[in-house]
A and B are shown apart, each in its own frame.
Chain A
Amino acid sequence: AQSVTQLDSQVPVFEEAPVELRCNYSSSVSVYLFWYVQYPNQGLQLLLKYLSGSTLVKGINGFEAEFNKSQTSFHLRKPSVHISDTAEYFCAVLISGGYQKVTFGIGTKLQVIP
């Protein structure tokens, strides 16, 4: 079975600074990878996804992530964060070609400090 590890439960960062949210996955087969964002009192919104092809994936709101198969990682990055990026971020994995039960990480709370 696949699993996802988000190494940081909380990440504080100053406004306009870069940020990296870490995600590692475990699977014996090829996977699809996702990052979701959850703003306070809202549902989850898809930020970006890796299905195949280029390992650098660009998403909404200036975020990007890089799939690294050898390190089984899919870290999320943004070069300059805004206050509005304060939210919880979830990494998720789905076995490619399988049915749709996505496995989520425990989430990372990004706190942008003015």
Chain B
Amino acid sequence: GAGVSQSPSNKVTEKGKDVELRCDPISGHTALYWYRQSLGQGLEFLIYFQGNSAPDKSGLPSDRFSAERTGGSVSTLTIQRTQQEDSAVYLCASSPNRAPGYTFGSGTRLTVV
């Protein structure tokens, strides 16, 4: 597609429920990233996928968070047993192989009530 697409744009969920956030990167971009943006916290790196290499999961805050990328394209970020502190905007970005700079999606605003 022309840009990075994220869905849903907004998600309200009850504490303890699981949620899935989807990212569809720019066609041909080999690298895909997830960041979390909490109020007043800047952008927190979560996970990075590059081609068929093992992902860098060093930013995932707990084992309730996981992500996968199928076929080197679409990625899903899953949060299990959501907590109120998981409320944030989850941003996905992609980039061409070894080319500096990201293109971001519009994000998914997650609210855990």
Which A residues are closer than 8 A to B by beta carbons? 32, 34, 36, 42-46, 49, 51, 90, 94, 96, 99-107
B43 within 8 A of A: yes
Segment of B68-76, B78-86, B103-111 engaged in the interface with chain A: B103-111
A/B interface sample: 7 pairs, CB < 8 A: A43-B4, A43-B6, A101-B48, A101-B56, A105-B42, A106-B40, A107-B43
Q: Closest CB-CB distance, A112 to chain B, in whole Å?
A: 21
Interfacial residues, chain B to chain A (CB-CB below 8 A): 4, 6, 31, 33, 35, 40-43, 45, 48, 50, 56, 91, 93, 95, 98, 100-107
Interface of B, secondary structure class, is strand
Do residues B104 and A45 form an inter-chain contact, with CB atoms below 8 A? yes
A100 vs B103: C-alpha distance in the bound complex, in angstroms? 12
Contacts of A106 in B (CB 8 A): 40-42
How far apart are the CA atoms of A96 and B101 in the complex, in Å? Answer: 11
Name A51's contact: one of B6, B33, B56, B100 (CB within 8 Å). Answer: B100
- B48→A100 contact, CB < 8 A: yes
A43 lies within 8 A of B106 (CB): yes
Which residues of A are found within 8 Å of B103, using beta-carbon distances? 46
Chain A residues whose C-beta falls within 8 Å of the C-beta of B98 in the assembled complex: 99-100
Check B100–A49 contact: CB distance below 8 A.
Answer: yes
Chain B residues near A105: list those with CB within 8 A: 42
Contact, CB under 8 Å: A99 / B106 = no
Could you tell me the distance in whole angstroms from the C-beta of B58 to the nearest C-beta in chain A?
9
Distance in Å: Cβ of B89 to nearest Cβ of chain A: 9
